[in-house]
Structure 1
Amino acid sequence: MTGNEGVERRWSVGELARATGLTVRALHHYDEIGLVPASERTGAGHRRYTEGDLQRLYRVCALRGLGLSLEEIGTVLARPADDVSALRAVLVGQLAHLDEQATRVARLRAQVGGLLSRLDTSGMPDPEQIATTLEMISMLDEHYTREQQELMAERRAALGPEAIEAMKLEWFGLARRIGQLQEDGVPVDDPRVQELTSRWDEIGSAFHGGDTAIVAATDAAYEGSKGTLDRQLGWPEGSGLVDYVKRAREVRS
């Protein structure tokens, strides 16, 4: 672009801010850190941007739109324009980050879906129930690795919401029936206990694929937060239901 014939146009920082939608402060910051420095200064010290500066700013805005940090953008722009290796490395890392975010969103979606199901079946949860749910989510996440969380998220997605809801209802029904046998003092090797706990484990396997590490992490999470989980699941605190199931599993194996 030119103003007078043969004279390349210059932009002030205010003009550039209005043209790009960026703030003057952001442009000053880009200049100060060397990301998009103004190529020229007036005699009074005011910044003046050239067409080359605008082209560089365009690349910065495009990379910001991909979610890259200013530091990552600086790494990309430090390479020649035709060298794609730096950009590729940054985008590979960005894709991994987005995959991780997608997994967290999938978990959050499942959690919110669970709360909606509660609203549909039993009305508005009270604040203590919601707080307990959030506390339980936090404690469980601490015990699973990212790979385990991703595996379970994939299996939930493959099952679909209808199948998950049906399994949840069956699982709670099993818990009530097993709890009644426990309360009646039925030994864990009794055929009724074995049948119910076998189905309990089959439902669990649909979510964790029989991964023994996930089973162990789940047991560890429960051991570390029995009171909270018992309240969340509607069991009498200290009922020992999970321990009862574990003993039945040991007899079966």
Structure 2
Amino acid sequence: MIGRDDAGRRWSIGEVARTSGMTVRALRHYDAIGLLSASERTASGHRRYTGDDVRRLYRVRALRTLGLSLEEIADVLANSTDDLAAMRALLKAQLHELEAHGARIQRLTHRLHGLLGQIDSASMPDPDQFMTTLEMISMFESSFTTEQREQLARRRADLGPEAVETARTEWAGLVEELLRHVRDHTPVDDPRVRALVHRWDALANRFHDDGDDGEGTKAAARRMWRENSEEIGRSLPWPAGHMRDLVLYLERCRQAG
């Protein structure tokens, strides 16, 4: 237990890590990038976090749950004050996110009740279908903010079921064509490949908003693939390794201009 002084309670980096659920390494990283530094040090050089530091850490963690990157959080904190009004606004935003999450859980609950009703009158679905669905829900929820999920849902609704199905068929054909070029080691600057990549990107753009919002959902989708390619690959009709090779091939094509 760290003692008190006239300025109030102090916490060691280990205590802050245990309480916040973070690692000591992550806290040191926050310090290294200037996002959160311990205000004091002991005579032997150990970090000591003050009440102001703990409040700043809470703001960092809360903003992370709202989908901001560390760079974006640094900008927000640099341009805001640590007062009651700012904290109230942050807490309201976090509460709104939790309420929205609760609403999503409620919708999922209704869907599961519907699935149970189908099971009562039909055969049991393949367990792999349940596992794949659960994995995809988890990845989608953790990769996109609430606002981004709503944007993607609006775009799909605007396109309509028929257009979405047509796009899915077109995309599958593009995958097959591009995989052949990957297997044949076709140079990335080949005009045939460049034309296919142009069609691929144009097709993807239909599902994203224009401007910064669309760039944000595209970046989140790329991040979801990088972090979960193995799980996503299991839900596709092509081997996961082939799809990873294809994504790398697409990146090389875009870099080649």
TM-score (norm 1): 0.50
